């Protein structure tokens, strides 16, 4: 009984039918007689037959697997998106292969090859870097590109289907919120260079400053990389800036948390001395001290929508590349207030 695995032939022999009938009884039960179906089911039970996914995939030329490329699975921002992807996928009988690329382009490429190598039917991209097949400009014809949906960012010079929010508008609203509170020296801590989100949120920040009639200054814009530590470091630099900023808009919540921690460590009170606004609305944002004002993204919905677009695309080769823009919301909590006297 132990040893060689059970195949459809074993089941067929025991049930006294052909392998084709076993296959039908399992995948298309309506088309076989009740008697036969029951005999097959009994044989399946007896043997513990589980099918062979490799053989089925080869025959059907589909894997029912979707690869999701995530730059950093430890980033809590992604987990709810993944959860949304997962729920839609499994409801349609698809599996999700989550791959942490660690922002390593080589790894991204390896896994992009999954689709070409028939290890997956499609790919969801969360890192805003186009995969190999989109690199050469001449070969980037959409006709040749495998099923792909880009999440959260829109790749410049490509028209892959996209699900995202309007980062420029959201960043503008977050910064405008600080300006409306009366802040005149508003700093910004950016994401990593080369990231599309970084550019868009910076643009929103600058647009808000300009609309509020505030001067922007290079010293007010500090580079970060979305990590807690980079938020701390950026604040250390900002504390040496003149005029001292009374408010900081951080390109994500983790840097905002680092920023607040560092402000406290330097004896500043948030928001009395410095207001801080984040971006993403991680779960921790509401529990931090003070609770963080931030931009909420519909993370689960982003995941769900992207997977639905993927399923549409899989069912219909010639689907148009849609750009789906979901709503965001500024969540005002206690980390932002009118500036104190200085």
Contacts with a second copy, residue ranges (CB under 8 A): 1-2, 5, 48, 50-55, 57-58, 63, 73-74, 76, 79-80, 82-83, 86, 90, 95-100, 102, 107, 113-114, 116-119, 143-144, 228, 257-258, 261, 264, 283-284, 287-289
Inter-CA distances, 136 with 111, 121, 214, 224, 233, Å: 18, 22, 42, 30, 38
- Shortest CB 1 distance to a second copy, Å: 8
CB atoms within 10 A of CB 305: 21
DSSP secondary structure of 269-326: -TTTT-EEE-SB--GGGGTSSSPPBEEEP-HHHHHHHHHHHHHHHHH-TT----EEEE
324 binds, among DNA, a second copy, none (CB under 5 to 8 A by kind): none
Is 1 near DNA (CB under 7 A)? no
Range list of β-strands (E), the chain: 65-70, 95-100, 122-125, 148-151, 162-165, 186-189, 221-222, 247-250, 275-277, 294-296, 323-326, 329-331
Contacts of 327 (CB under 8 A, 6+ apart): 165, 298
Is 56 near DNA (CB under 7 A)? yes
Residues 13-32 that bind DNA (CB under 7 A): 16-24, 26-27, 31-32
The pair of three-digit structure tokens given for residue 54, joined into one six-digit string: 């490799």
Q: What are the φ and ψ backbone dihedral angles of 268, each rounded to 5 degrees? A: -90, 150
325 binds, among a second copy, DNA, none (CB under 5 to 8 A by kind): none
Q: Residue 148 forms beta bridges with which residues?
A: 123
User: Which among 312, 192, 189 is positioned nearest to 256, based on CA atoms?
Assistant: 189
- Shortest CB 38 distance to DNA, Å: 10
The pair of three-digit structure tokens given for residue 48, joined into one six-digit string: 């513990």
- Measured from the CB atom, is 143 or 341 closer to a second copy? 143
Residues 57-76 that bind DNA (CB under 7 A): 58-61
- Measured from the CB atom, is 24 or 201 closer to DNA? 24
SS3 category, 341? coil
- Shortest CB 91 distance to DNA, Å: 20
- Shortest CB 266 distance to a second copy, Å: 13
Contacts of 244 (CB under 8 A, 6+ apart): 185, 238, 342
Q: How far apart, in whole angstroms, are the C-alpha atoms of residue 85 and residue 68?
A: 9
The pair of three-digit structure tokens given for residue 14, joined into one six-digit string: 């025991």
228 binds, among DNA, a second copy, none (CB under 5 to 8 A by kind): a second copy
Is 35 near DNA (CB under 7 A)? yes
- Shortest CB 58 distance to a second copy, Å: 4
Q: Residue 276 forms beta bridges with which residues?
A: 248
Task: Using CB under 7 A, count the residues that bind DNA.
Answer: 31
- Shortest CB 243 distance to a second copy, Å: 27
- Measured from the CB atom, is 144 or 215 closer to DNA? 144
Is 2 near DNA (CB under 7 A)? no
- Shortest CB 55 distance to DNA, Å: 3
92 binds, among a second copy, DNA, none (CB under 5 to 8 A by kind): none
- Shortest CB 222 distance to a second copy, Å: 18
- Measured from the CB atom, is 21 or 294 closer to DNA? 21
Q: How far apart, in whole angstroms, are the C-alpha atoms of residue 98 and residue 85?
A: 10
| Residues of the shown chain interacting with DNA in the complex, contacts defined by CB under 7 A | 4-5, 7-9, 16-24, 26-27, 31-33, 35-37, 49, 51-52, 55-56, 58-61
């Amino acid at each position: 009984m132990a040893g060689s695995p059970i195949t459809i032939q074993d089941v067929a022999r025991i049930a006294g039918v052909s392998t084709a009938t076993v296959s039908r009884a399992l995948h298309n039960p309506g088309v076989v007689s009740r008697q036969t179906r029951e005999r097959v089911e009994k044989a399946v039970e007896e043997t513990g037959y589980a099918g062979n996914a490799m053989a089925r995939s080869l025959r059907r030329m589909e894997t029912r697997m979707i690869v999701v490329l995530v730059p950093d699975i430890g980033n809590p921002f992604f987990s709810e998106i993944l959860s949304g992807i997962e729920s839609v996928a499994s409801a349609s009988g698809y599996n999700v292969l989550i791959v942490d690329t660690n922002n390593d382009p080589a790894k991204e490429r390896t896994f992009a090859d999954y689709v070409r190598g028939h290890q997956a039917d499609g790919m969801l991209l969360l890192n805003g870097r186009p995969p190999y097949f989109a690199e050469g400009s001449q070969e980037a014809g959409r006709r040749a590109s495998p099923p792909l949906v880009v999440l959260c960012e829109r790749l410049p010079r490509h028209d892959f289907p996209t699900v995202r929010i309007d980062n420029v508008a959201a960043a503008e609203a977050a910064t405008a919120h600080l300006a409306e509170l009366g802040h005149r020296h508003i700093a910004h801590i950016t994401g990593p260079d080369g990231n599309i989100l970084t550019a868009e949120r910076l643009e929103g920040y600058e647009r808000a400053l300009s609309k509020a009639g505030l001067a922007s200054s290079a010293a007010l814009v500090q580079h970060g990389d979305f990590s807690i530590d980079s938020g701390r470091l950026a604040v250390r630099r900002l504390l040496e800036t003149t005029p001292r900023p009374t408010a900081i808009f951080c390109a994500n919540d983790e840097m905002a948390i680092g920023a607040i921690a560092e402000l406290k460590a330097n004896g500043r009170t948030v928001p009395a001395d410095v207001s801080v606004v984040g971006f993403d609305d991680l779960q921790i944002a509401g529990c931090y001290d003070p609770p963080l004002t931030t931009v909420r993204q519909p993370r689960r919905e982003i995941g769900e929508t992207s997977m639905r677009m993927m399923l549409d695309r899989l069912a219909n080769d010639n689907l148009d590349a849609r750009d789906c823009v979901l709503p965001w919301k500024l969540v005002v909590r206690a980390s932002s207030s009118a500036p104190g006297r200085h």
